């Protein structure tokens, strides 16, 4: 790899398009926050604690991504639920149920976007991506739906096997999961907007470099990136995601160019999350401290 050529591509990138990529990427937290807020309402969390406002939900989303970026085993989702519990007193079990429902919806959307990307790529006879990602996506869809089916069929039996204290928590978790699928078209549509914001980030990063990459490959790389970042071997998929991005972009670009795009993209989707996530964490601790002192919180918003 020619490091000089890689740096030259990075240095001559259009800064305004990179700023646009940054802004578009951060709208994903608004879309995902809006979806999670709807799912919390569907699950009945509002009966126990105030729902987060849209801004608070987006902030908690960012906080979860930050936690996943600095820890192993994708702990960000669990930390987001705990952070919401700390700020509002909401049921942790019910909240975790909504996050499981959220993950199942994301798996469905990832598979659909992967399929769309593959179909667009196959319009170009020179681009033939591996079907591995599509197979993994399909396997995850089947496994997720099987899990939901098993939960629905056996949840009463499982509950009877648990001690009374754990039984009530499991029932809250089950209700949080299943009820979160109410208003399914709405939450899926908002979730899709969140994923399209991530596609838009990579699209504008590529445009900033002036390189030629088709929209099909942009969609495919973005969603494959999500699958790779879910591998819990490193915080936020660090090292794994970058390798995957370069390998997939090499279908249309030279390796030097692919590395340039990967560096720019991950500076937004990983490095900036750590920087902004620190601010979100500090603000969260301030909210928790204020609540502990009996002051008004900032989580509510109707």
**CB-based contact 213:249 (threshold 8 Å):** yes
Name the residue with tokens 């989702």.
77
Prediction pTM value:
0.93
Residue at 296 is within a domain: no
Residue at 169 is within a domain: yes
Residue at 112 is within a domain: yes
Segment 143-170, tens digit of pLDDT:
999 999 999 998 888 888 888 888 889 9
Residue 296 is predicted with a pLDDT of 63
Q: What CA–CA distance (Å, rounded) separates 30 from 17?
A: 21
User: How many CB atoms within 10 Å of residue 259?
Assistant: 24
Residue at 297 is within a domain: no
Q: Indicate if the pLDDT at residue 301 is higher than 60.
A: no
Q: What CA–CA distance (Å, rounded) separates 205 from 286?
A: 35
**CB-based contact 251:220 (threshold 8 Å):** no
Name the residue with tokens 């090499």.
250
Residue at 221 is within a domain: yes
pLDDT category at 297 given cuts 50, 70, 90 is: low
| Residue 160 burial by Cβ neighbours in a 10 Å radius (0-12, 13-18, 19+) | exposed
The count of domains in the chain is: 1
Q: Indicate if the pLDDT at residue 197 is higher than 90.
A: yes
Residue at 143 is within a domain: yes
Cα angle vertex 205, ends 124, 34, to 5°?
Answer: 100
**Enclosing domain of residue 260:** 3-291
């Amino acid at each position: 790899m020619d490091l000089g050529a890689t740096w030259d591509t990075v240095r001559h990138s259009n800064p305004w398009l990179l700023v646009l990529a940054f802004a578009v990427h951060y709208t994903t937290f608004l879309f995902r926050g809006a979806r999670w807020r709807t799912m919390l309402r569907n699950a009945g969390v509002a009966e126990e604690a105030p729902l987060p406002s849209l801004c608070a939900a987006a902030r908690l989303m960012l906080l979860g991504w930050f936690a996943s970026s600095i820890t192993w085993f994708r702990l960000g989702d669990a930390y987001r639920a705990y952070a919401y519990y700390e700020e509002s007193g909401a049921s942790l079990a019910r909240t975790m149920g909504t996050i499981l429902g959220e993950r199942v919806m994301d798996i469905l959307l990832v598979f659909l976007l992967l399929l769309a990307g593959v179909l667009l790529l196959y319009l170009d006879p020179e681009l033939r991506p591996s079907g591995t990602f599509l197979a993994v996506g399909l396997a995850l869809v089947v496994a997720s739906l099987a899990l939901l089916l098993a939960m629905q069929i056996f949840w009463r039996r499982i509950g009877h096997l648990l001690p009374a204290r754990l039984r009530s928590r499991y029932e809250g978790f089950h209700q949080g999961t299943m009820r979160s699928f109410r208003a399914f078209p709405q939450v899926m549509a908002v979730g899709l907007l969140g994923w399209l914001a991530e596609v838009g980030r990579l699209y504008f990063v590529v445009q900033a470099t002036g390189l030629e990459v088709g929209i099909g490959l942009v969609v495919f790389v973005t969603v494959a990136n999500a699958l790779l970042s879910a591998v819990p071997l490193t915080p936020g998929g660090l090292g794994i995601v970058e390798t995957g991005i370069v390998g997939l972009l090499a279908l249309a670009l030279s390796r030097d160019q692919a590395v340039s795009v990967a560096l720019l993209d991950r500076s937004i989707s990983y490095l900036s999350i750590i920087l902004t996530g620190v601010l979100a964490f500090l603000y969260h601790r301030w909210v928790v401290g204020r609540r502990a002192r009996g002051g008004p919180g900032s989580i509510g918003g109707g």
